[in-house]
Chains A and B, each alone.
Chain A
Amino acid sequence: MYRLWATIQKDVRVLSRDKLGLTFLFLMPLLLVLIVTSIQNNTFELINKNKVPLLVCNRDTGASSLQFIRALDTVGLFTVRQVPADQDDQSVRDRLQKKDAFLAVVVPADFSAQMAIRTKSLSGKALNSFGLGDSTGGGARDAAASTNEGLPITLYYHPILQETFRRSAQGAIYSALQLVESRQLLRTLYFSINEKELPDTLENELMTRRAKINEMPVSRNGDRSTPNASQHNVPAWTIFSMFFVVVSLGSGIVREKLNGSFIRLKTLPTNYFVAILSKQVTYLAVTMVQAALIFAVGVWIFPLLGLPKLNLPADWAALIFLSLLCGWCAVSYAICIGVFAQTEEQANGFGALSIVILAAIGGLMVPDFAMPGNFQTVMKLSPLHWCLSAYYGLFLEGGKLKDVWSNVLSLFLVIAGLQGITLWGLKRKNLI
């Protein structure tokens, strides 16, 4: 035990005197979390809080187009900015290219007229099918063809917009259009049947009383707050930082193997396994300090910088246990790399690059649900995936340890595998 303690003391001393290594281990991860969270927070706010600017060029002078614009405003997704009606399509496109907005709608001059024809035709068809006859006259028959065509609204979008967002915007515009059309159709039908205008009170009641949708986030603890950029990013980049100890630890093992001290260690009556055990303890402590620092920054510093505060899971014991497990997994991986690498360059290069790859396939950079089908299987090979899944179980789903037991079990298996490979490597290289 004294040998292990002396080795831990030695490792801590060597590490504490490596200023660059310490910067890499502690300062860089903090910067990384800060930068990535800031960037992603903008995206989150764009989607969750901010409305998207929408240019509307209304060339129509009728009531329907005004209703349509009002409807766009009430959809909740857009900040409608009207541009002069005399601007041509090229001018509208130019404004998008200058990023005045990312979306623009051009309402044609005959929008209201087309809307009237379309709704008359539709109401005529409806009355016929009800057996009430067509009281709308021959005009409807003439315009029957137009019922099968959409109204000629033009939507311009900046190519920078992602398809999913574009589809959301398109859906919202359709919804506004549908609202205007339904209102118009209702009026026409009412007039056709009752030969008088639809009362405003009835119209409002019919148009505004929609079925409600109850939104319920599926968190384990019943928390209804929407996860923010901090909840997503802090756990993910904490794991990434933990695994990046490979640069310090992996190359440290190689350096020790290559320099003279290793020769002497091999001639001393202590198994090299003690050195490996010491490194596990020392660097596990390093990963714990990393996690504590990053979480502390998320809780106390983020709000000062205008970023959403990190909400730590209620189950503290689970958080500590999972952090230890993630740290151990990271250290096991780093030691495995260090044992097999022949040079420091190999340990640094392969170690760092492999972490980036494992982070990518593990779902740290792109959410796992957004990955292609093949990667859904491949991601399970990444130790970072299991760490992230377990952390998300606590941070995003509000779970407790019992809720993430399958991830814990998987992590234990990954650690056992890495330790097994390391032991095999040590024996193969006659190091233990």
Chain B
Amino acid sequence: MNPAKRMNGGPAIQINDLSFGYPGQSDLFSGFNLVIDAGKRFGLFGPNGAGKTTLMGLMTGLLVSSGGGIRLLGKEIKKHKSSVNFLFGFVPQDFSFYHELSPVENLSFFGAWSGLSSAVIRKRTGELLDVLGLYAVRDKKVKDFSGGMKRRVNLAIGVIHQPPLLFLDEPTVGVDVQTRHAIIQYLKQLNADGTTLIYTSHQLSEAEDLCDRIALIDQGRIIVHGDPDHLLSEHRQDGLEGLFLHLTGKNYRDQSV
């Protein structure tokens, strides 16, 4: 049985009264609240510097909040750091693997670090390489792969342990249409199998296809939150890009460092 299915139902993520600020800066998040239901394909959007990556860092435990709390599938991440890490997978925007190794070797290593046995790793590696079209190059060094193939390796590592929650930070950036299509279809399949997806991207057309819930955040606050179709009709926009510009403006946001 897919472990992700066991976790379906109820809130997947509860963020209560969250506070966080980088050293020497004012708080980016203050009294921030968000609930993401299990089984959803949740899109988190916002301009550069809005706090998307920071929020994802807080939800995955990479960053530690100064106040409030985050629960993943009912477990407070500050209190259950080690056990919470079994509950989610993370697909960072950067290629987060060893380029000198093959896909099989990368999956073996990250599978072991995800707490899987060697038998399970072998089984899951075969499945993932097959479904993501990497089986033929399973023993080649990843450094020789195309950008699209590397994205698929990045994704495969994030889901090897079949987590009930999957964080995806721009999982399709820099890939061709075919690879994007394949990745989105695979993510939908994962979600259909019970995996809750938390996804950020600047590809809003892709988000329209994938997400069934979205939140638009800016300067550490949620501007809108809800069903994409409902939000588009409420703000009389044809697409998410129009909604995005309508709510966040057309000025550059990343003019300071």
Contacts and interface: CB of A to CB of B under 8 A. Distances in A.
Given A17-B100, A267-B90, A10 B62 contact: no
B252 interface: no
B96 A261 contact: yes
A264 B159 CA distance: 12
Nearest to A275: B113
Given A2-B118, A17-B141, A267 B101 contact: no
> B interface, how many residues as a size bin?
20 to 34
Interface residues of A, number: 25
Interface in B58-85: 60-62, 64, 82-83, 85
Interface stretch (B23-31, B104-112, B171-179, B191-199): B104-112
Interface of A: 2-3, 5-7, 9-10, 13-14, 17-18, 259-261, 263-271, 274, 430
Contacts of A7: 109, 112-113
Contacts of A271: 82
Contacts of B97: 260-261, 264
Interface of B: 60-62, 64, 82-83, 85-86, 88, 90, 92, 94-98, 100-101, 105, 108-115, 117-118, 141, 157-158
B112 A267 contact: no
A259 B110 contact: no
A9 B82 contact: no
B212 to A, nearest CB: 25
Contact of B112 (A3, A13, A430): A3
Nearest to B93: A260
B100 A260 contact: no
Contacts of B83: 269
Given A7-B113, A271-B82, 9 more contacts: A7-B109, A10-B105, A14-B100, A261-B97, A261-B98, A264-B157, A264-B158, A267-B62, A268-B114
A263 B62 contact: yes
B101 A265 contact: no
A3 B101 contact: no
B182 to A, nearest CB: 21
Contact of A267 (B88, B111, B115, B117): B88
Contacts of B82: 269, 271
For the complex of A and B, list the 8 residue pairs with the smallest distance between their C-beta atoms, beginning with the closest.
Answer: A260-B94, A6-B112, A260-B96, A269-B85, A264-B96, A10-B109, A270-B113, A268-B113
